Amino acid sequence: MPTEDGLSAAGVRLEVSGAVATITLARPERRNAMTGRTWTTLAHVGHALPDSVRIVVVKGEGGSFSSGIDLAMFSPEGAEGEKPLLSTLGDGSLDQAALVETIAGYQEGFLWLRRPGIVSIAAVRGHAIGAGFQLALSCDLRILADDARLCMKEPALGLVPDLTGTKPLVDIVGVSRAIELCLTARTVSAEEARELRLAEAVVEGSALDETVDDLVAGLLGTPAEAAAATKELLLQAPDNTLEEQAEAERRAQVGRLSALARTMRG
């Protein structure tokens, strides 16, 4: 697990309480802007979490979820303690292949949130911009406060969304709406997010924590192995044919029934 100092330098706080891990983006003075170090640290957290953790809640400190990439990453100096992205690429000290590897490392910080053994929940207040929106999209479930504002800002900055957000966005809203949202970089209100199915629920800001706590309690009511097997099954469904999915259901159920039979035999 990253050290307290490592987490703090990455602008991340981590609390693990029983089966629930809470990751808080903790740079409120920068509206929880994230750097490359934030993402590689999130990847370390994901790899190091104990198997006993079943729920991961991701939230931001203060009134914003996250303002996205720390814009200092694009400055000639770079973010504190990190290589500047553009000038190192421009002067040849970072080649394209190395940058591809670097981005792959950043993406690791987002990818693990989908793994079957956990359910990840983004609790979003205020702005979720660019990488912040992609982080929320990387979670299985999104609960929004009514002041939430989502924006895929990357194309407006001359970039593409590259932190694993394009697939969930298209899966949820469809290609046409995703094109419209990304290429206008417009801000989506909490209300519209609910209509677009980008939010499982929208609640008053004062009720966000309690709503997430209730959801966590509901999720923990299901046995861990059945929850993981069901999530694995559901994740396959969009890419499977009906026949493939039916076969996957059969295989998963045989696994579950066998486990239950073993339990009965003691």
Residues in contact with ligand CAA by CB under 6 A are 30-31, 33, 64, 67-72, 127, 129-131, 153-154, 157, 159, 162-163
Phi, psi angles (nearest 5°) of residue 14? -130, 130
Q: Which CB sits closer to ligand CAA, 9 or 53?
A: 9
E-only strand ranges, the chain: 12-17, 20-25, 55-60, 119-124, 127-129, 141-145, 149-151, 187-189, 201-203
- In whole angstroms, how close is the CB of 254 to ligand CAA at the nearest point? 42
Residue 113 CB, nearest approach to ligand CAA (Å): 16
- Number of helices (H) and strands (E) in the chain: give both, helices first: 11, 9
Report, in Å, the least distance between residue 112 CB and ligand CAA. Answer: 18
How many whole angstroms separate alpha carbon 36 and alpha carbon 33?
10
CA distance 237 to 45: 28
Are 111 and 164 contacting, i.e. CB atoms less than 8 angstroms apart?
A: yes
Closer CB to ligand CAA, residue 159 or residue 226?
A: 159
In this structure, what are the phi and psi dihedrals at residue 21, rounded to the nearest 5 degrees? -110, 135
Judged by beta carbon, residue 69 or residue 202, the one nearer ligand CAA is 69
Give least dist CB 123 to ligand CAA, A: 17
Q: Which residue is nearest to ligand CAA (CB)?
A: 130
Q: Which is nearer to ligand CAA, 72 or 220 (CB)?
A: 72
Nearer to ligand CAA (CB atom), residue 74 or residue 115? 74
| Least distance in angstroms from the C-beta of 222 to ligand CAA | 34
Which two three-digit tokens encode residue 257? 């029934």
122 three-state secondary structure: strand
Residue 249 C-beta: closest distance to ligand CAA, Å: 37
Helix H or strand E encompassing 257: helix 242-265
- 33 or 208, CB closer to ligand CAA? 33
Cα 187 to Cα 76, 127, 194, distances in angstroms? 28, 9, 14
